[in-house]
Amino acid sequence: MNRIFTCIICPVGCEIEVTTRNPFGYPDKRPDEEPVILEINGANCERGKAYVENELKNPQRIVTSSVRVSGGNMPIVSVRLSAPVPRDRMMDVIEELRHISIEAPAKIGQVVVKNILGSGSDVIVTKQVQKASPH
Partner 1 sequence: MTQIYDCIVIGGGVIGSAVARELSRYELTIAVLEKELDVCTETSGRNSAVLHAGFNNKPGSLMAKLCVEGNTGFDRTAHELDIPFKRTGKLVVGFDNEDLAGITFLKDQGDQNGCPGLELVDRDRIKSLAPNIEGNFALYSPMTGILNTFLYTIALAENAHQNGAAYFFDHEVTDIFRSGRNLSGRSEPEPEYEIQTNHGRFRTRWVINCAGLYSDKIARMLGNQDYTIYPCRGEYFILDRKLGPYLTMPAYPVPNAKAGGLGIHLTPTVDGTILIGPSAEYIDEKDDYASTQEVSNLLIKDGARIFPRLQANSIIRSYTGIRPKLTGKNSGGYADFVIEERDIFPGAINLIGIESPGLTSSIPIARLVINMIGQKENLREKPDFDPHRHSLLCFRDQSRDVQRSLIQADPDYGEIICRCETVTRAEILAAIHNPLGVATLAGIKVRTRAMMGRCQGGYCQTRITELLMQEKNLKPQEVLYARKSSNMFFGRVREI
Partner 2 sequence: MKEIKSQIPSMNPMGSTMQTLPETILHDVIIIGGGPAGLAAAIELKRLGVSDILILEREKEPGGILRQCIHDGFGLFRFKESLSGPEYAARFIEQSKAQEIECLTNTSVLEITPQKEVITASGNGLTTYRAKAVILAMGCRERTREAILIPGSRVAGVYTAGVAQSYMNLKNIMIGRTAVILGSGDIGLIMARRLTLEGAQVKAVFEIQPHANGLPRNIEQCLNDFHIPLFLSHTITNIKGHNRLEGVTVSQVDGNLRPVSGTEKDYACDTLIISVGLIPENELSEMAGTAIDPRTHGSIVDEFYQTSVKGIFAAGNVLQVHDLVDFVSLEAERLAASVSLYLEKTSLPEAGISIESDLNIAFTVPQHITGRSDCILSLRVREPVKKCKIILLQGDTVIREARLPKAIPAEMIQIPVCAADLVSLEKIKVVLEHE
Contact 120, 114 (CB under 8 A): no
> Pick from 125, 80, 135, 81: which is nearest to 103 by CA?
125
Share in percent of the chain as helix, strand, coil (round to 5)? 20, 35, 45
Q: In angstroms, rounded to a whole number, what is the distance separating the alpha carbons of residues 45 and 87?
A: 24
Rounded CA Rg of the chain: 19
Nearer to partner 2, 19 or 82 (CB): 82
Q: Which of residues 28, 46, 98, 118 is near partner 1 by CB under 8 A?
A: 98
Question: Does 12 contact partner 2 by CB under 8 A?
Answer: yes
Q: Is 75 in the site for partner 2 (CB under 8 A)?
A: yes
In the bound state with partner 1, the residue whose beta carbon lies nearer, of 2 and 101, is: 101
Interface segment toward partner 2; rule CB under 8 A; list 16-24, 33-41, 70-78, 113-121? 70-78
Interface residue with partner 2 among 20, 40, 61, 110 (CB under 8 A) is 61
Among 20, 40, 87, 132, which residue interacts with partner 2 (rule: CB under 8 A)? 87
